[in-house]
Amino acid sequence: MVTKVSVRYPQRGTRQVSGVLAVNDVSFSVAPGEFVAIVGPSGCGKSTLLKAIAGLVPLTSGNVAFGSGPETRVGFVFQTDALLPWSTASSNIELALRLAGASAVTARDRARKLLAHVGLENAAELFPGQLSGGMRKRVAIARALAYHPAIFLMDESFSALDAQTRIHVGNFFLTLLAESQQTVVFVTHDIEEAVAVADRVLVMSHGPGRIEREIAVPLPRPRDYHASRFVAGFDDLQRRVWQALPASRELEQ
Ligand X SMILES: Nc1ncnc2c1ncn2[C@@H]1O[C@H](COP(=O)(O)OP(=O)(O)O)[C@@H](O)[C@H]1O
Binding stretches for ligand X (CB under 6 A):
9, 20, 22, 40, 42-48, 207
Q: What's the min distance (Å) between Cβ of 62 and Mg ion?
A: 19
Rounded Cα distance between 211 and 24, Å, is 9
Q: What's the min distance (Å) between Cβ of 190 and ligand X?
A: 13
Parallel, antiparallel, or unpaired for β 200-204 and 35-39?
Answer: parallel
- Nearest 5°: phi and psi at 122? -90, 0
Q: What's the min distance (Å) between Cβ of 116 and ligand X?
A: 33
Of 36 and 131, nearer to ligand X (C-beta) is: 36
Query: Residue 47, interface with Mg ion (CB under 5 A)?
Result: yes
CB neighbour class for 90 (10 Å; exposed up to 12, middle 13-18, buried from 19)? buried
Of 73 and 189, nearer to ligand X (C-beta) is: 189
Q: What's the min distance (Å) between Cβ of 19 and ligand X?
A: 7
Instruction: Please name the residues in contact with 42: beta carbons below 8 A apart, sequence gap of 6 or more.
Output: 189
- Which of Mg ion, ligand X, none interacts with 61 (beta carbon under 5 to 8 A by kind)? none
- Which of Mg ion, ligand X, none interacts with 42 (beta carbon under 5 to 8 A by kind)? ligand X
Count the neighbouring beta carbons within 10 Å of the beta carbon of residue 219: 18
Distance of alpha carbon 230 from its chain centroid, rounded?
24
Compute the C-alpha angle 79/86/95, nearest 5°: 75
Query: Residue 90, interface with Mg ion (CB under 5 A)?
Result: no
Of 40 and 75, nearer to ligand X (C-beta) is: 40
Q: End-to-end CA distance of the chain: give it in Å, rounded.
A: 38
Q: What's the min distance (Å) between Cβ of 199 and ligand X?
A: 21
- Which of ligand X, Mg ion, none interacts with 45 (beta carbon under 5 to 8 A by kind)? ligand X
230 neighbors 237 (Cβ within 8 angstroms): no
Of 29 and 42, nearer to ligand X (C-beta) is: 42
3-state secondary structure of 251: helix
- Which of Mg ion, ligand X, none interacts with 62 (beta carbon under 5 to 8 A by kind)? none
Query: Residue 238, interface with Mg ion (CB under 5 A)?
Result: no
Query: Residue 48, interface with Mg ion (CB under 5 A)?
Result: no
Parallel, antiparallel, or unpaired for β 2-9 and 20-28?
Answer: antiparallel
- Which of ligand X, Mg ion, none interacts with 44 (beta carbon under 5 to 8 A by kind)? ligand X
Tell me which residues touch Mg ion (CB under 5 A): 46-47
